[in-house]
């Protein structure tokens, strides 16, 4: 259905796009695709942000499931080089030149967003469901995740978020922000925050936010399906449009992205 050409080829199949249906948990491949697409944008407002694909953290947490620094599987510490399938999707220049790094994390089916101020070496967490780490295990996962991001920046040629042993004690404060109303929309909030959150506007750990009505959240699912299929990065765009029984527009259209569009997230093709 979709092959995005960025630093490397990134392939999506119908199952991934079908996860954008209403009331569905969204596949991590969709979040990664949106990261790739947004990183290609040069318009004002996104130039200072770089979004990291969630796959490297997912891979790392699969080896360090409770945030242990020594993997119970491999008996080794985390190394970026141990995940060669992810390396082609790292833009080293942007990772070390952009002041703000947005990094989505998914664990146990829930998504949240790390916001890293690279120049000030400050980390914050925006969680659409929680306002603090709800368990000691989550605190350990956050510490390990901070270490992963610090190692990733160092691998790209930048300065670590902390030096020496402190790199394993990186703290990230939670930002108070309005979030999801359901158990399945966390990825939608995280993806939309990539575009809309302005880090400079976080004041005293709070971000003033008018929460979206559920109808608008559901519409974002259609928007993301359209943006992925119609992306200029999708070398199979024309074929994907022809084969879709839900989207039959010949080219990207403002109509499809309009809140008055008749297509909704329940119409996204699954077959």
Question: Cα separation of 87 and 269, whole Å?
Answer: 32
Q: What is the pLDDT of residues 89-124, one digit of tens each?
A: 888 999 999 999 999 999 999 999 999 999 999 999
pLDDT at 266 over 60: no
Question: Cα separation of 71 and 62, whole Å?
Answer: 9
Tokens 């990261």 belong to 35
Using a pLDDT cut of 70, give the percent of the chain over it. Answer: 85
Q: What are phi and psi of 85, to 5 degrees?
A: -70, -20
Question: Cα separation of 210 and 126, whole Å?
Answer: 15
Domain at 43-213, CATH class? alpha beta
Share the mean pLDDT of the chain: 86
DSSP code, position 41: -
Q: Which of 27-41, 156-170, 243-257 has the highest mean pLDDT?
A: 156-170
Q: Which residue has the higher pLDDT, 5 or 186?
A: 186
Binning pLDDT at 50, 70 and 90, where does residue 6 land?
low
What b/e string do you get for 208-246 counting C-beta neighbours within 10 Å, with b at 16 or more?
ebeebeeeebbbbbbbbbbbbbbbebbeebeebbeebeb
Mean pLDDT of 182-206: 93
The answer to whether the CB of 110 falls within 8 A of the CB of 186 is yes
Residue 34 CB-density burial (10 A; 0-12 exposed, 13-18 middle, 19+ buried): buried
Sequence spans of domains, the chain: 43-213
Length of the chain: 271
Per-residue confidence (pLDDT) for residue 238, from 0 to 100? 72
For residue 215, give the H/E element and its range: helix 214-230
Q: Which of 143-157, 216-230, 239-253 has the highest mean pLDDT?
A: 143-157
Enter the tokens of residue 169.
Answer: 């004690």
The answer to whether the CB of 145 falls within 8 A of the CB of 57 is yes
Question: Cα separation of 2 and 12, whole Å?
Answer: 5
């Amino acid at each position: 259905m979709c092959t995005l050409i960025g630093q490397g080829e990134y392939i999506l199949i119908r199952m991934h796009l079908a996860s954008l249906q209403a009331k569905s948990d969204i596949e991590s491949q969709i979040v990664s695709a949106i990261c790739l697409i947004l990183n290609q944008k040069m318009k004002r407002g996104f130039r200072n942000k770089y979004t990291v694909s969630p796959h490297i953290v997912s891979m790392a947490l699969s080896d360090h499931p409770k945030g242990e620094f020594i993997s119970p599987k491999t008996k080794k510490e985390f190394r970026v080089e141990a995940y060669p399938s992810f390396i082609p999707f790292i833009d080293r220049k942007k990772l070390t030149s952009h002041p703000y790094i947005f990094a989505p994390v998914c664990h146990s089916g829930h998504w949240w967003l790390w916001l890293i101020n690279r120049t000030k070496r400050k980390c914050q967490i925006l969680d659409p469901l929680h306002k603090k780490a709800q368990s000691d295990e989550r605190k350990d996962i956050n510490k390990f995740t901070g270490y992963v991001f610090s190692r990733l920046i160092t691998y790209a040629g930048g300065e670590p978020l902390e030096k020496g042993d402190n790199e394993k004690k990186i703290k990230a404060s939670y930002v108070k922000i309005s979030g999801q109303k359901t158990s399945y929309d966390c990825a939608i909030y995280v993806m939309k925050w990539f575009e809309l959150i302005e880090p400079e506007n976080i004041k005293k750990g709070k971000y003033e936010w008018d929460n979206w009505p559920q109808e608008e959240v559901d519409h974002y699912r259609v928007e993301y399906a359209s943006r992925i299929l119609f992306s200029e990065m999708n070398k199979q765009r024309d074929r994907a449009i022809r084969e879709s029984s839900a989207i039959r527009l010949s080219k990207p259209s403002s109509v499809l992205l309009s809140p008055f569009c008749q297509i909704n997230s329940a119409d996204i093709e699954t077959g």
